[in-house]
Amino acid sequence: MGILQRMSNIFRAKANKVIDEIENPIEILDQKIRDMEQSLNNARISAAEILGNVHEIEKKINIAKQNAKEFDEKVKLALSKRNEELAKKALERKIEEEKNLKSLEASYADASKKAEMIKSKLKELEGEIERTRRYRDEAAARYNNAKATEKVNEIILDIKSKTNNISIDEIERKIQRKEAIAEGLEDLRNDSLDKEFESLEKIDLDLELKKYKENLG
């Protein structure tokens, strides 16, 4: 492997490590929840439009039914008055309203199906958001606990590494050396004191000789 390739691999490895350290999984989850909530709001707006369309078609169906019923009554009225020409016109309008009614009913069925489908999707998305929120809370507790444990382990490792740099045996040797020096000084002090007493007990030969001569005389 060439040196440039090795340097490139090292750079990518370090860059990935920095990114991993910067990325906070809880923040990523929070952003995911925000994105999901935005999607839910957009879906609700679309659902409201579809449901509004369903209600609008329903109103038109009721109007078409009412119109068809009224033209049916007019047909009957015209026939009762023996006015077939007017009855034909009323019947033509009735047929048009019935065709319009069938078309509206088909549109209503399609719109209602879509409305039910999107409401089902909304429930699924709401459930997914709720599950993600619960997981986020659980993950946050685990992540914080892991960070705290990691910090404690780093502190313990740091203490151990610093302690390992200190030799207990070397410290013990230094202490023993100081104790030996102190004992040596004590011995010197005692020797000096003993010599002082010895000087007091030292025999004065001149004095003793004088005493001896006096005794002879």
CATH fold group of domain 3-166: Helix Hairpins (1.10.287)
On the question of pLDDT at 197 being above 90, the answer is: no
On the question of pLDDT at 15 being above 50, the answer is: no
Taking the mean position of all CA atoms in its chain, how far away is CA 1?
39
Query: What is the Cα–Cα distance from 40 to 112, expressed in whole angstroms?
Result: 20
Average pLDDT over residues 6-16: 53
Cα distances (angstroms) measured from residue 102 to each of 47, 62, 88: 24, 12, 21
Pick the most confident of 9-13, 111-115, 156-160.
Answer: 111-115
- Of 69-78, 91-100, 197-206, the poorest mean pLDDT is in 197-206
Average pLDDT over residues 10-26: 58
On the question of pLDDT at 105 being above 90, the answer is: yes
On the question of pLDDT at 17 being above 70, the answer is: no
* 8 A C-beta contact, residue 68 and residue 160: no
On the question of pLDDT at 18 being above 50, the answer is: no
* 8 A C-beta contact, residue 94 and residue 68: yes
Domain definitions of the chain by residue range: 3-166, 172-216
* 8 A C-beta contact, residue 59 and residue 103: no
Could you tell me the sign of the dihedral formed by the alpha carbons of 19, 24, 29, 35, in that order? negative
In one-letter notation, the amino acid at residue 110 is: D
Residue 59: per-residue pLDDT: 94
On the question of pLDDT at 177 being above 60, the answer is: yes
